[in-house]
Every structure is written in C-alpha cells, then in structure tokens.
Amino acid sequence: MKRLTTLALGAAMLLAASPNAMAERQNPFLQPYDTKYEIAPFDRIETSDFIPAIKAGIEEQDQAIFNIIRNRAVPDFDNTILPLENLSPILERVSGVFYHYLEALGTPEFAAMADEAIPLLNDAQNKLFLNDLLFQRIKQVYDMRNEMGLTPVQKRLVEKYYRQFAEQGAALPADKKAELVRINDELSKLFIQFNRNLLAATNQFAVIVYDKDELAGLPESSVAVAAEEAGARGLTNSWVFTLHAPSRLPVLQYADSRGLRKAIYQGYTNLASYGDYSNYPVISNIIALRNEKAKLMGFDNFAQMMTSRVMAKTPEAATQLLLQVFEPAVQRSKEEVADMQAYVDAQGGGFKIAPWDYYYYADKVKKQKFDLDEAEVRPYFELNNVLKGMFDLTEKVYGVKMVPMPDAPKYIEDMQVYDVVDAKTGEHISVFMCDYFPRDTKRQGAWMEQMQSAGLYGDGKMKRPIVYNVGNFTKPAGDTPSLLTIDEVETMFHEFGHALQGMLTTAPYKSLAGTNVDRDYVEMSSQMNEHWAFAPEVLKSYAKHYQTGETIPDELVKKLEAASKFNQGFVTTELAGAALLDMMYGQTPAVDDVKVFEAEVAQKIGMPEEITFRYRSPYFKHIFGDDGYASGYYTYLWAQVLEADAWEKFEKDGIFNKKTAESFKKNILESGDTEDAMVLFKKFRGHEPDAKALLRLRGFEK
C-alpha cells in the first residue's frame, strides 16, 4: 500500500537565537540537515523537537503565503505558483519525519505529542487551501495559462494547483469554508482514533498455546517466533501467536489444529470490533461527516466527489469495472471451494469448509495439484538474498545500482540505507531506506513514502528524493534468519515498485514528481514490479537455500510457475469485494449499524460465505484511517488492468528487452504527473488499457 503525498506544503527560515541559546542544544529540524544527501539525523531527533519545529514551520508558511498575496505584480507562474512549491522548508523537514514516525515508530510518548501536533498541521493546511486572496491569484494564473508562454509541464502544475485548491474548498463562501474546517477537524480526530484503536486492539490480542501437539503442521520458524514471543511476555513452556501477519498467516495456512486456525481467524476478523477499542462508532461518524462534506462541496455523495478527481470519473464507472472482475472471480472461487471440500471429504473430515479453513485447504489442494509445498520454498527466500536479487534486477532492467550506506543515520537498528546511483556514471539518484520487521510501535501492512521529494527547491537547486519502504515481514528467530513467504516476497517487490517511481522521477516540480499521480494510476508501478519476482530467470538469481547456498531447483521453479494462477478466484474476490464495500460506503449518507451494513453488502453482491472481505470495516485502514483510498480502494483493480496490459508487452518483447524497459522507465517511472496518465500509458503501450488483460492474467479468460 502507498500513502500519497499531496501538493508540497513547503518552507521556512531559521529562527534567530540569542547568544545564550546558541550554547544550548539545537532543534535539528530548524536548519538544513548537515548529513550526506540531507538524510534526517535520526539520532539527534527527540520527541520534544516536533512541536516547536511544527510551530516554527507554520509561522514561516504563513509569512510565505502573505508574501505571495501582497505582491502587487500581475500574478504569474514565477511569483505565485513557484513559491507554493516551497512555502516552508522547516515544515517540510519536520512533516517528513513526523508522518513516518506516526506509522512506523509510534511510541506512547510520540502518540501523546501527535495529539497536539495533528490539529496544528490540519489548521495550517486549512489556512493554506482556504485562503481566498491566495486562491484568487492562482485562479488568475489559471485563467491566463494559455497566454503566458508556459511550458506544458508548467501549465500542468498551474492546473494541478487550481484543481487541488478548488477541491479543498477554496471557492466556497466564507460560511461554508468555516463549516468545512469544522468537518475536516472532526474527521482528522476520528482518523486518529480509528488508527489508535486498531493498533491497540492488534497488540492486545494473542492466542497462547500450552499443548505442543496444537503446533502440528507449522513451520519450525513460526514455532520459534511464537516461543520467543512467549518468552518476551514472561511465559514458559508455551507459544504465543499474535495478529501480526508473520504470526497470523502461517497459522491459517499450515496449522493442522482447526481450533487454533479458528481462534486466530476470528481474532483477526473481529479486530477493533468490540470493547474499548471498537471502531464501529468511529466509522459511523466518519461516514456521516464525509456525506456532509460532499454535500457542502456540491456533490450528491462522497463517492461521487472522490471519483470525480481520478481516471474513473464516476462511482458507476468504478463499480462497473469491479463487477466485470468480481463476477468471474466468484465463479472461479466456487470451483476452488469445491476442490477443497472434495479434499476434506476424501480425508473423512466431516465438516463444511469455513473461512478459517480456506488458506489451509488451499495449500493442501495446491500441494495435491502441483506437488508444491510452500514450506519447501521458504528456505530459498532468505530476506537479504531476496533483497539482493531485487536490486540486481533493478540494475539489469533500469541501469540503477544500490550502494549500501552503513554509516547513514537510522531511526531503528535493523533498517538498511542505500545510495541509489546510475550504474554507468555513478551519479546520485536517490536515497532508499527499508524497515522490514514488525514491532509494537508499527502499524500492520507495508507501504512506501518519501521524506524528501525530488524537484526544484526554494534555493533554486534541484534535489533528489529520499524514499523508504516499510513492511512487517517474518523476523529472524534463534539461528534461523528471516525466511519470507511467497506473499512477503511479492509484497517486497510491490513496495519497491512504488519506491522506483519515487526514486527515478525526473519531473522538475515536487508536486508532479514521483508518486504524486492520480490515485487509480499510482498502483500500476508497484503491481508491475511484482511480475519480475517469480519470473524463472529472476527467481534463480536470488532464491538460494539459506543453509546450503543451493540455487532453487528447476523442478521447484516449474511448480511455482504452474501454480501461479492458483487460488486467483479467492484473491480477486476478496479484493474486489472490499472495493465494492468501500464504494457503497461512499454512496450511503449514514450507517447506524456498520456490522449489519457490511453483511447486507456481502449478501447483495453475492460474496461467497467462505470468503471474507480482504479488510472488514473495523480494520479497513485504507478507507477509514484517512481519506487516502476512501471511495478509491477500487483503484488497486484498475491499476491491475493497466499493469496486466503492460506486462503482456514485456512478455511479448522479452522481460529484459532494453527498448521496452527504457520506454517503461521513461513514460511511467520517470514522468510522474507531467502528463495525463492515459497519455503516458498509451505512449508506453500503444493503446488504451484492455480490461480483459486482467481476466487473462488471472486465468479467467484466454
């Protein structure tokens, strides 16, 4: 998953200090970082630094806005639009670290500080986007953009600023602006509460196993991690399983104990659904406020407002795409369930397949059909080997080399930092950081973001980006290193695809650079990168047995390839189902009983009873943790259409074809938002996206 940055908020000046103050410790956010490539000096940052820096940055942003407004010259690109790109360097620096820590290093001390910081940041954004005098200057530039001799990219930047200010309510009358500020403030608090409830509920739940026989079927690495977790909790002769993916998923896939699988499954699917951490009332309030906001902005509903800003344009168009994929996926999932039920019956199971059986018996059927045991594969997926293979692939396809920076600042010891350079010239391209293991202060999932954007800065210099990937992969346990699951390998490649778009961008302005593209386009690069992970030529380059160093056998590679379309009914159904649920939330003015609404949607769309939405509402962070993917979760499937069609070109031309790779790099990875997404896609592919390419990729249609 990727959280998009919006238009740059920008820039500030250094605060003057008295001679006595100079002898005191300096807040690291208040001046440009003195580190290589201006990586944040994490070892010098303290929680107490954030609020003073945020306030200083906001003050500087206010002054920068005032300077734009009071300029008596006719508004143009240089005196109105360019300054918006760099309103406050201090605020930009502190925000880059603040929002990262909020999700990856949310200690209790930091969380308490964030309660004060987030309203300040929201207020600063409101003052920016709802400033009528500023908007009038932007509108004047927008209205005259065709007569100003602007380059196409400059014109696009003008249009983007105008659109975003309008979408944020800049054109509203004063009374409606005040109402919008109230709604945004309330929503922000609800998002904080949703995320906090989810993290607390995740950390609170655990299943303790006292009988070793209950562990039958589980990989040794999973048992070792569970034993370490028990030890960390002061428990002996027991094993503790949590809801973090590296603990939860092996239980669902491998545990012979149906009772253990059920306990973990129900714990996960009821996450944040009861008690002090229930997100049900939070969701009801979010839906009501979003509906208010949409009406205020002149739309019939929230989904209409959100889809108007991206490639789909309407909820109806997005829903049509979803159903086009959902219906054949459901039919395939019924075939998959029938295969599992036949397996259970043949074994004398005497029960009907339930949701907590799906992963387990899918694995059994896969083993039966393809003679593939995923536990047999994991020893070949040692994390560092996979990482090296991914980097080697990147150098081969895109001419980009990853050089370790062992002395770079780190906020956590087991993260890794790389200098990303041109493989031929050695020219610096970006900084890449990765933080892959779960901890109590990190939310679930995996994501990409940036601490510094590429583009033109206030001092007239072009800077290169600082990009990071965060994950929750299987940790080392005892003498066993981190051995990734197939899903974790895919996730690593996925998030690195986002990182590539962030790192390789050549867009000249921050607001157009990297992943600052339409929501239903941003997932294309990440999903595209997944394809290389299990391509036989790539797989054999990195899949080495962690004990023997042996390359993964050809026989195992063939099995993986043969099984690549297995269980696609389930995968696509749970994703499309969640996207349809999201779209229906966005078209509903109020939901008093979230649990009932969710069940009604499942019945209406024909969700198979053996399959749950990929995310049930109380832990559907994509749509209730912020507005990022709200009424936009469908974009994963739209992006899969783009990616499936694009990959067919690589398959036709050869997956290492230099001309094809160069075209993809130029038109997709480097371009950012410098041109319309459809134009860029057609430049690479030669035609508009073919929706049937996704059905072919999933094996639903030939």
- If we measure between CA atoms, which residue out of 128, 115, 245, 125 comes closest to residue 191? 115
Characterize 486-501 residue by residue with b for buried, 16 or more Cβ atoms within 10 angstroms of its Cβ, and e for exposed.
bebbbbbbbbbbbbbb
The whole-angstrom separation of Cα 344 and Cα 27 is: 63
The whole-angstrom separation of Cα 87 and Cα 62 is: 8
Q: What's the Cα-to-Cα distance from 259 to each of 58, 123, 270, 354, rounded to whole Å? A: 54, 49, 16, 12
Q: What's the Cα-to-Cα distance from 133 to each of 70, 124, 176, 601, rounded to whole Å? A: 9, 16, 16, 45
Active-site position among 292, 495, 598, 643: 495
Separation of CA 408 from chain center:
25
Instruction: Give the torsion through C-alpha atoms of 455, 459, 461, 463, to 10 deg.
Output: -50
The whole-angstrom separation of Cα 364 and Cα 354 is: 15
Q: At what angle do helices 89-104 and 50-70 cross, to 10 degrees?
A: 140
Q: How many CB atoms lie within 10 A of CB 82?
A: 16
Q: How many CB atoms lie within 10 A of CB 329?
A: 26
Cite the beta strand spans of 337-435 per DSSP E: 400-404, 416-422, 428-435
Catalytic residue flag (residue 670): no
Beta bridge partners of 219: none
- Classified as helix, coil or strand, 248 is helix
- Classified as helix, coil or strand, 492 is helix
The whole-angstrom separation of Cα 202 and Cα 248 is: 11
Characterize 307-327 residue by residue with b for buried, 16 or more Cβ atoms within 10 angstroms of its Cβ, and e for exposed.
bebbbbeebeebbebbebbbe
Q: At what angle do helices 383-398 and 486-504 cross, to 10 degrees?
A: 40
Do residues 497 and 527 lie in contact, with contact meaning Cβ atoms separated by under 8 Å? yes
Do residues 279 and 591 lie in contact, with contact meaning Cβ atoms separated by under 8 Å? no
Q: H/E/C letters for each residue in 515-559?
A: CCCCHHHHHHHHHHHHHHHCCHHHHHHHCECCCCCCECCHHHHHH
The residues annotated with a catalytic role in the active site are: 495
